[in-house]
A and B are shown apart, each in its own frame.
Chain A
């Protein structure tokens, strides 16, 4: 889905009224008190909770029983639906005039009654810098980050700023072994090369896609990468690798930045 800063797609009437209230000065935020105060101390004003969601029907995939392969229909579905949710969230942030969105959570809801259906939700708190410093991504879109308020504060202390969440997804079918293969392994210590290779391939594909996104966003690097390995009820031989992290760039004028030394404490609790 192409990003359109003026779009309020999917946003119902009630949502417009809510964003109007946020613009008038009432903020809502799902940050905890500590996170909230740290984000404020970092010079940002929370504007409101922003959300994007998409309920998606996942198509039917054909696969061979004995072949390691990427399941492109499923990969595409998982990727596109997340992209839809994220883009809508960014568009809501744009409506509030935000610089970016912190503490983004990207969840997938599956329903037992709709096996081919999933809901993708992105939720975060839109923030704006009080001093009007530039914090948007190089592409002009609001930045997004899944860092907690604490991590966000620490990242800013290091002279970096987030540009956007980057992700890569790969749904992979791990080939079933033949009877002969299983028999040969009976009672032996032995690596299962086809399984190893399948998981390797899938993970590499997901990470490569995530890195490609970061390159496109002109990022210096990615922090807080998480690799999730889930099967989403597709059966034991179908696995999704999902890599997600926050791409960062050096903040303007931070060439001679010094990171303050941490204090050492003995924790009582």
Chain B
């Protein structure tokens, strides 16, 4: 079976549906969520529907019920983003800003939409946020981020006035942090893409090979690559700390550090070398000291033997 596409719209859509589609498009362009999603969530906030969606297990659900944390609905946010061209001399050492910016902007849009969905649904926080990166063969060069989590209503004691809080923590972890006097205030994340050219030392080890000159035979640290990768990682971590500071946090817990690198072959007359393109992804939950939240008897460790 195969598909056939017709030119133009499939059906002469009625003007109302067309108007709604245009409105959704406008909202997405403004960084918001489409109309149907916003209507469904708004209805949920007013108590319609009654049933909630959540990806919680039974044990977790039971515990959260006891702690007064109520699941509201699954919320998501996503954004497909086209990475532009790096202008100027593309492969100069340092951060490839256009590529980094595409990742960061796409993630920011996805998280922003998730926040809007949460607000619309009248929830106080999202727990267990998972951010995945998608790629589609029909959109080459595009970056996609999808954020998914469970929106919850918090007990009065844990609620803040600053709007919903996104975290990649489970409900239990959220409560445990609060009970120990630390308030989660949001997700901090950053991506940095750096270009690291091979200098003379590295080129010598790449070229001489088994039967060539001496460099490839020796164990040695590649100082240029080490330095370049260090710089990339530190710059990503610097952005993360700065973001945490800007949100008034005292620290970031559960930082996940992901690193990918690939080679980039550069060939010219009489030379050939393999440079390095390295990507760092960082994400963690920002927390702030809030002693007023701490319960009288904070959860304490107990050595147990499981049967």
Q: Do A and B bind each other?
A: yes
- Across the interface, A33 reaches (CB within 8 A) one of B226, B230, B254, namely B254
Closest to A32 in B: B254
Q: Is A192 among interface residues, defined by CB-CB distance under 8 A? A: no
Q: Is B71 among interface residues, defined by CB-CB distance under 8 A? A: no
| A-contact 0/1 string along B239-270, CB 8 Å cutoff | 01110110001111111110101110000000
Distance A267 CA – B234 CA, assembled complex (angstroms): 42
Contact B244 A55 (CB under 8 A): no
- Near A by CB (< 8 A), chain B positions 130-168 give none
Closest to B236 in A: A14
Distance A17 CA – B216 CA, assembled complex (angstroms): 36
Contact B220 A11 (CB under 8 A): no
| B-contact 0/1 string along A140-168, CB 8 Å cutoff | 00000000000001100100000000000
Distance A14 CA – B235 CA, assembled complex (angstroms): 5
Name which of B241, B256, B299 has the most chain A CB atoms within 10 A of its CB: B241
**In the complex, chain B residues whose CB is within 8 Å of the CB of A76:** 219
- Near A by CB (< 8 A), chain B positions 202-245 give 202, 205-206, 210, 216-222, 225-227, 229-231, 233-235, 237-238, 240-242, 244-245
Contact A28 B219 (CB under 8 A): no
| A-contact 0/1 string along B24-63, CB 8 Å cutoff | 0000000000000000000000000000000001010000
Contact B219 A73 (CB under 8 A): yes
**In the complex, chain A residues whose CB is within 8 Å of the CB of B235:** 12, 14
Contact A18 B237 (CB under 8 A): yes
Looking at A57-65, A176-184, A213-221, the stretch in contact with chain B turns out to be: A57-65
- Near B by CB (< 8 A), chain A positions 170-208 give none
Contact B255 A30 (CB under 8 A): yes
Contact B238 A41 (CB under 8 A): no
Number of interface residues of B (CB under 8 A): 58
Contact A18 B253 (CB under 8 A): no
Q: Is B303 among interface residues, defined by CB-CB distance under 8 A? A: yes
- Across the interface, B221 reaches (CB within 8 A) one of A37, A40, A56, A260, namely A56
**In the complex, chain B residues whose CB is within 8 Å of the CB of A260:** 303
Distance A96 CA – B231 CA, assembled complex (angstroms): 19
Distance A25 CA – B216 CA, assembled complex (angstroms): 45
Q: Is B65 among interface residues, defined by CB-CB distance under 8 A? A: no
Min distance, Cβ A17 to any Cβ of chain B, angstroms: 6
Min distance, Cβ A103 to any Cβ of chain B, angstroms: 11
Q: Is B274 among interface residues, defined by CB-CB distance under 8 A? A: yes
Distance A32 CA – B176 CA, assembled complex (angstroms): 12
Distance A56 CA – B118 CA, assembled complex (angstroms): 47
- Near B by CB (< 8 A), chain A positions 72-110 give 73, 76-77, 80-81, 84, 109
Closest to B181 in A: A40
Looking at A113-121, A227-235, A238-246, the stretch in contact with chain B turns out to be: A113-121
Contact B173 A34 (CB under 8 A): yes
* Given A29-B251, A53-B226, A57-B220, A114 and B307 contact (CB-CB distance below 8 Å): no
Contact A53 B230 (CB under 8 A): yes
- Across the interface, A37 reaches (CB within 8 A) one of B176, B205, B216, namely B176
- Near B by CB (< 8 A), chain A positions 231-269 give 260, 262-269
Distance A153 CA – B274 CA, assembled complex (angstroms): 46
Q: Is B300 among interface residues, defined by CB-CB distance under 8 A? A: yes
Contact A14 B238 (CB under 8 A): yes
Distance A27 CA – B57 CA, assembled complex (angstroms): 32
Q: Is B1 among interface residues, defined by CB-CB distance under 8 A? A: no
* Given A33-B169, A34-B176, A57-B219, A41 and B304 contact (CB-CB distance below 8 Å): no
**In the complex, chain B residues whose CB is within 8 Å of the CB of A264:** 304-305, 307
Q: Is A132 among interface residues, defined by CB-CB distance under 8 A? A: no
Contact A80 B253 (CB under 8 A): no
Min distance, Cβ B230 to any Cβ of chain A, angstroms: 5
* Given A14-B231, A40-B180, A27 and B250 contact (CB-CB distance below 8 Å): yes
Name which of A22, A55, A111, A157 has the most chain B CB atoms within 10 A of its CB: A55
- Across the interface, B216 reaches (CB within 8 A) one of A26, A34, A40, A60, namely A60
* Given A14-B238, A22-B241, A263-B304, A56 and B219 contact (CB-CB distance below 8 Å): yes
Contact B253 A265 (CB under 8 A): no
Contact A33 B251 (CB under 8 A): no
**In the complex, chain B residues whose CB is within 8 Å of the CB of A121:** 259
Contact A46 B307 (CB under 8 A): no
**In the complex, chain A residues whose CB is within 8 Å of the CB of B90:** none
Distance A84 CA – B227 CA, assembled complex (angstroms): 13
Distance A153 CA – B202 CA, assembled complex (angstroms): 44
Known: A14-B231, A57-B202, A119-B225; 14 extra A-B contacts, CB below 8 A, are A12-B234, A14-B238, A21-B238, A26-B245, A30-B284, A31-B253, A31-B254, A33-B169, A33-B173, A37-B180, A55-B229, A113-B274, A262-B303, A266-B307
Closest 9 CB pairs of A and B: A113-B263, A15-B234, A27-B251, A33-B173, A55-B225, A12-B231, A14-B234, A262-B303, A77-B219
Binding site for B on A (CB under 8 A): 10-15, 17-18, 21-22, 25-34, 36-38, 40-41, 46, 49, 51, 53-60, 73, 76-77, 80-81, 84, 109, 111, 113-114, 116-117, 119, 121, 123, 153-154, 157, 260, 262-269
- 15 A-B pairs with C-beta separation under 8 A: A14-B231, A14-B238, A15-B230, A21-B238, A21-B242, A22-B241, A26-B251, A28-B244, A59-B218, A60-B216, A76-B219, A117-B222, A263-B305, A266-B307, A267-B307
